Amino acid sequence: MDKRILWGCVGALGTLLLFGLAAHLFAARLNQAWMTPLGELPLFDLLGVLTAMAVGAAIARRRFRTIAVALMAVLWLMTLFVLALSPMPGEPVTLPTLLKYNALAIVLTLGLAWLGAWLGERWAGRHPAMAASQG
């Protein structure tokens, strides 16, 4: 793997972490989710995904779109796994229930990861001085 792509992954995950910390610090104000018939839509988290993948792609400069989507897919798989194994009061949580409740967020997250990576790659391509200083 190209070192630049690896650093792009680190940058993307670090940016996601910063957005998560900001959401935690400003708890109720930033963690508002829109309730839809398909489940909650966490707007600040979606903005974080778009920004993080743009940062990662700007660092990697190329071939980051597939990796951005794969990173988010892995994060969603880990999230669903933890939720499925967490004890919850009431009826047991099943994978189909989790997928039904989170389907919209999953699809939008994966789409925004691709879009953010595409935007980051385009930005890096338009700033050759920045690209030359990185490499």
How would you write the pLDDT of the chain (135 residues) with one tens digit per residue? 688 899 999 999 999 999 988 888 877 666 677 887 777 788 889 999 999 999 999 999 888 999 999 999 999 999 999 988 887 787 778 888 888 888 889 999 999 999 999 999 999 888 765 544 555
Domain total in the chain: 1
Asked whether the beta carbons of 72 and 13 are under 8 A apart, the reply is: no
Contact 28, 36 (CB under 8 A): no
Task: Please give the residue range of the domain that contains residue 38.
Answer: 3-134
Give Cα separations from 41 to 17, 106, 122 (angstroms): 19, 10, 27
**pTM, full prediction:** 0.84
Concatenated DSSP letters of 50-91: HHHHHHHHHHH-SS-HHHHHHHHHHHHHHHHHHHHHS--SSS
